[in-house]
Structure 1
Amino acid sequence: MSLNQTVAHADLKAFIARCLGACGMPESDAATVAGLMAQADLMGQDGHGVFRLPMYIKRIHAGGMNMTPNFTRLHERPATALIDGDNGMGHLVMHHATELAMQKARGTGVAWVGARHSNHAGPASLYAMMPARENMIGLYLAVGSANHMPPWGGTDMLLSTNPIAVALPSRDFPPIVLDMATTVAAYGKVKTAAQRGEMMPEGWMIDRDGKPLTDPNRAADGFLLPIGGPKGYGLSLIFGILAGVLNGAAFGRDVVDFNADATSTTNTGHVILALDIAAFADPVKFRADIDDVWRQMKSSARMTGVDEIRLPGERLNKVTRDRTAQGIPIPAPLRETLADLARDLGVAAL
C-alpha cells in the first residue's frame, strides 16, 4: 500500500461523522466534531485530526466521555462565562464556548469564556481562527491532555504542553495564526513519529538522566523539553493556571493521561478570548494594517543562507490550499488502523 494515498477533505469528514454516529453521538454533533477534526488534517495538524479518532472512540466505548452532554453556565457576566462541559467531547465544548465568546464580544467588545469538564479538543488554532473569520481576534489556551514535562529542574511530570493560539485577520494575505505548544514539540508529533516508524530530532525529549531521547517508542522513559528553557516552563505554568485552576479544571497531579486512561473523567480546561476589532479600530483598516505587517516581515533583510522569512500561519495556509486541491495524505499504518476501526463499528471504510 502506498504511503502517499490521499483522501478528499469531504470524504474524511464524512468518515469521521459515520464513526462517531455509530458510537451514539447525535447527527448534528457528529457533523460538528467531524468538521473540526477534518479541518485539523486539512491544515496539516496531523497529530490532532483523524489520527486521534481511534483513541476518542476507545474512550467513548469505555464510558470515559458523555455522548449527549448538557452544557451549563456556572458563572456568567456580560463579558465572561464559565461553562461546564458535562464531560462532552472537547471539540463540542469548545465550539460552543467559542460561539458564546463571539456572541458576547459583539456587544461588549471583548469576551473571555472558560470551560471545565471537557476533553481533548484538537489543535488550538481551530478555536482561535473562529473569531478571526468574524472580524475579531481569537486567543485560546488549554491544559494539555497528559503531563509530559516537569517543572524546570525537576523530574516529576506536573505540566503538559499547555498550548496557546492567537489568530488575527488580514485583507489580502492569510491570517496571522500563532499555534504553539509550550514544549519544543507537541506530544501528538511524538505519537505520529512512532506510528510512522520515524525517529525524533534531538531537542524534543530527554531521558531522566538528561540525555537526548530520540526513539518515540521510548517516550515514557523521558519528558518533553520546554521552549526557551525556564521561559517555556513559566508559560506552561501560567497557561495551565488560567485554563485549569481558574476554571476549576484539572491541573498538575490531577491531570488524567488521556493516552493511557480511557475511563477516568479528564476534567480538561480551556479558555477562549474573542476581541471585536471594531471596539479598538476600523476592521477594514486593521486588516490592511496586518497586510502591511506581512509586507514588512517578508521584505526584511535576510541572513546568509535564509531563502525566505515566514510568518505564523503561512505554512498552515499553504498546506490547507495544497490539501484542498490534492487531498489529505493518510499514511499506510493509519489507514489500516482506520479500516479496522470502520470494520469494528460496522460503517463504510475511508
Structure 2
Amino acid sequence: MPAPLPADAEPSRSHSAASMRAFIARALTAVGLCEPDAENVAELMVEADVTGADAHGIFRLPQYVSRIKAGGINVQPDIQVTRTAAATALVDGDNGMGHLVMRRAAHTAIELARESGIGWVGTRFSNHAGPAAIYASMPVEHGMIGVYSAVASANHMAIWGGTDLLLGTNPLAIGVPGGPSGPIILDMATTVVSYGTIKKHALLGKPLPEGWMVSRTTGEPITDPAQSSEGILLPIGGYKGSGLALMLSFLAGTLNGASIGKDVVDFNADNRTVTNTGQCILAIDISRFIPLETFENEVSRHVADLKSGDTLPGFGTIRLPGEQRAERRSKRQAEGVTIPTALLTKLDLLADELGISSLGAI
C-alpha cells in the first residue's frame, strides 16, 4: 500500500488540490502535452496526493518532465484500443503518459463489463501511471469490482533467494463497492514498500527502517537511502511475494507484449528509452451475479463485524483496506496537501526551468 510522507518531514504550507492541478497542467503543457491531456494527467496525479499516495503524485512531476524533454515519452500519442473479443481488449499507448493510457484502459474495461458482464483490458507501450488504487477505483464508481496490476517501471526485487534484479514492485489493487460503509480498496506493492517511498526518504534525508532493503552482496539490511542502488527491495511474505510479483508480470506484461524481466527499462536511470510498460485491468459487473444493493449491504454487514471485534494489545482500532485513503482524501480536499520543503524547492526550480508560475503563485 503506498506510504504517506513521514510524519516528521519538514513541511511547507499546504496547497489546495486545485492549485496543484493547475501547476501540473501548466508544466505538462509547457513540455508539449495538449491542454486536455495535461489536465487529465494532472487530475490523476493530484488524486494520488489527496488520497495519501505521496510518492506517486506531484512528487513525480520533475521526473516526468525530464523524460518528456529527453524524448522518452510521446507527448502526442495515438492511443489505440483493439477489441479482441466480447470481453477483452488491448490498448497500445504509443508511449504516451501512463495516466492517459490507463484512463483509456479503465474506461474500456468498464464498457466491456457493461456489455458482457466482465471486461479484461491489457496495455502495452504505456508508462508509469501512478498508484494502482486510482484505477481499481474506477470500476467501483460504476457498481463494479475493479482489479488492477502493472509491471513496475524499474526492477528493484530479485526472485526469492536470488540477487539479480529481475522483478519489480509490481502492484496489485482490488476495489469493491461497499454501500454505506464506503468502498474497500486494497492497494499494495509486492515488496514491503514501493521504490517511490525509498526515493521520498532519500529526498527528505530519512533513514530506512530495517526490513525494507538488503544488500545484494552481503544480505545485510540497508538503512541509508543513498545506498539503495546497492540493494534489493524485500518482497512481502518472503517467497510468496516474489512469486506473486512474477505471476503479475506475466499477466500485465507478457500477455500484452510488454516488457518484463531483463527487458524492463529503469525509468529512474534512463530518460530516453521507450519503456513499453504493461498494465492490466479487470472490471466485473456485480449485477450479473447478485443485485448490487444486496452485495453492498453484505459488504457493509461484514465490515461492521470486522471493525467491532476486540483488538490485540497495541492496536487502537481496526482499519480495513482503503479506509485511511478515504479519510485522507476528505481531509486533504478540505485543508490542502502539505508539501515538504525539499520537494517544493524542486518544484520551484522546475517552474523556473519551464518559465511558468511557481506552485505558490497559483
TM-score by length of 2: 0.95
Root mean square deviation, CA, Å: 0.9
Structure 2 residue 144 is the aligned partner of structure 1 residue 140: no
DSSP 3-state at the match of 1:183: coil
- Report if the CA contact (8 A) 1:213-1:219 is conserved: yes
Q: Is the 8 A contact 1:125 1:177 kept in 2?
A: yes
Of 17, 23, 35, the match for 1:15: 23
* Paired position in structure 2 for 1:42: 50
Alignment of 1:213 with 2:222, yes or no, is yes
Structure 2 residue corresponding to 1:343, chosen from 326, 349, 352: 352
Q: Give the equivalent residue in structure 1 for 2:78.
A: 70
Instruction: Give the partner amino acid of 1:83.
Output: V
Counterparts of residues 41-190 of structure 1 (less than 5 Å): 41-74=49-82, 76-190=84-198
Unmatched segments (≥5 aa) in structure 1 = none
SS of the counterpart of 1:239?
Answer: helix
Answer yes or no: is the 8 Å Cα contact 1:174–1:313 preserved in 2. no
Separation of aligned partners in 2, 1:168 and 1:75? 25
Q: Given that residues 243 and 271 in structure 1 are in contact (C-alpha distance below 8 angstroms), is that contact kept between their aligned partners in structure 2?
A: yes
Per the TM alignment, residue 284 of structure 1 is displaced from its structure 2 partner at its CA by: 1.3
Secondary structure of the 2:125 match is strand
Q: What secondary structure is seen at the aligned counterpart in 2 of 1:246?
A: helix
Aligned equivalents of 2:143 and 2:130: distance in 1?
23
The letter of the residue matching 2:101 is V
One-letter amino acid matched to 1:40: A
Structure 1 residues 237-270: Cα deviation after superposition (integer angstroms, max 9, x where no partner): 0001100111110000000001010000000000
Structure 1 position 346, deviation (Å): 1.1
For 2:314 and 2:149, locate their aligned partners in 1 and report how far apart those are by CA, in whole Å: 35
2:252 counterpart (243, 246, 252) = 243
The reply on whether 1:227 has 2:236 as its aligned counterpart is yes
- 2:277 aligns with 268
- The two structures have a TM-score, normalised by structure 1, of 0.98
Name the aligned partner's letter for residue 27 of structure 2. Answer: C
Count of aligned positions: 349
Percent identity between the two aligned chains: 51
Whole-Å Cα distance in 2 between the matches of residues 39 and 304 of structure 1?
Answer: 34
Instruction: Name the CA distance, whole Å, in 2 between partners of 1:293 and 1:326.
Output: 32
SS at match of 1:206: strand
Superposed CA offset, 1:153-211 (max 9, x none): 11000000000001111111121000000000100000001111111111000012110
Shift of 1:74: 4.5
Secondary structure in structure 2 of the residue aligned to 1:341: helix
Following TM superposition, the consecutive aligned residue runs of length 4 or more in structure 1 with deviations greater than 2 angstroms are none
Give 1:306 deviation, angstroms: 1.8
Does structure 1 conserve the Cα–Cα contact (< 8 Å) formed by 2:12 and 2:344?
no
